[in-house]
Amino acid sequence: MLESPLSQTSEYLACREQVIAAVADLPQGKALSEALIAGRDFLHWIRPHEVAGATRIQVREGHGPQNLNGEPLDTQFHAYLEAVINPQIRIGLLADGTKPSSYDDRKVRWSGAGVAGFWSRSQDTFTLEVGPTSYPRCRLDLTRSSLEALKLMMRGLTTYQDPYAYFARGVGVAVVPLTADGNVYIGRRSTSSDYTGVLNFVAGWATFSPAAQDINFYQDAQRELWEEVNVAMTLNDTNTRFIGMSGNPITGEVDLVFVVQTEMGDRHFRSGQWEEHSCLVRIRNKAEAEVLLEHGLLPGEQEPCALMFSSRLGLEYLVQQHW
């Protein structure tokens, strides 16, 4: 969405300064401020060194997003389900995936007051606080202008000291599949995606469950590998490494990022027709990855492309640890 008029530009800058001042003393406030000042479309909330050795991911119940209009809601996990999600399912505004070939509009939300949602690490266990949200609420975040997003952040900061209190803050999984030849393949998202034309590895929304303990990000990553690049494998701590979480500072959405060593050679990724990607392009060394990270250029191409935030974290990890 273009925001070219001078008055809107000045309003944007003024609103951005308000947000930066309001988050200054909050944990991770500096990281958010720096991303907003630089105009970056990515923010790595949790980095690889913070989760090195974490092989188990569990969740704890948190909160849904606050009401955009009208009276404030009780956003606690089950209260939000009963007051917001389930009534919309009953009247047909949302689907829960129980009917044949229907989509599940329920989504997982990163919850926890403050700039970053809540997470903790204890030995091999990573704990994430999650709440319920919905795909329509996630779409609102993706389509809102940057100015309106900043205004909503300010509203959340003023009322709850949380810039994302009114955001869906949808959670996804992103998977970087390493081939048996030691390379990776990345592609532009097809027109059926929320991010048409953006460079991305394997990725998709996390699967919601009203029983929070049944939310399983490893299973989601495994499913996405099969659905997007026809790789059938069981993810475990010998072939899969959880490397952190990355998100978009304006939309609030986040992905858990996994690097997976597959047994498939390059030929598999070159030969297929991929529903979620227009085509897949090989990245085979540190130099090619750095050009993509710095300039958005794929090998042999002249036109830069946008790079998905979680794919950026994956590539940065490979530059440091793989090549």
DSSP codes of every residue in 187-240:
EEE-TTSTTTT-EESEEEEPPP-SSGGG--HHHHHHHHHHHHH-------TTTE
pLDDT digits (tens, 9 = 90+) for 162-219: 999 999 999 999 999 999 999 999 998 876 667 888 999 999 999 999 999 999 999 9
pTM of the model: 0.94
pLDDT at residue 5 in the model: 47
What mean pLDDT is predicted for residues 273-296?
91
Let me know the angle formed at the C-alpha of 107 by 129 and 232, rounded to the nearest 5 degrees.
95
Task: Name the percent of the chain lying above pLDDT 90.
Answer: 86
6-23 and 146-160 helices, crossing angle to 10°? 30
Per-residue burial over 151-175, b if 16 or more Cβ lie within 10 Å, else e, is: bbbbebbeebebbbbbbbbbbbbbb
pLDDT digits (tens, 9 = 90+) for 48-99: 999 999 999 999 999 999 999 989 999 999 999 999 999 999 999 999 988 8
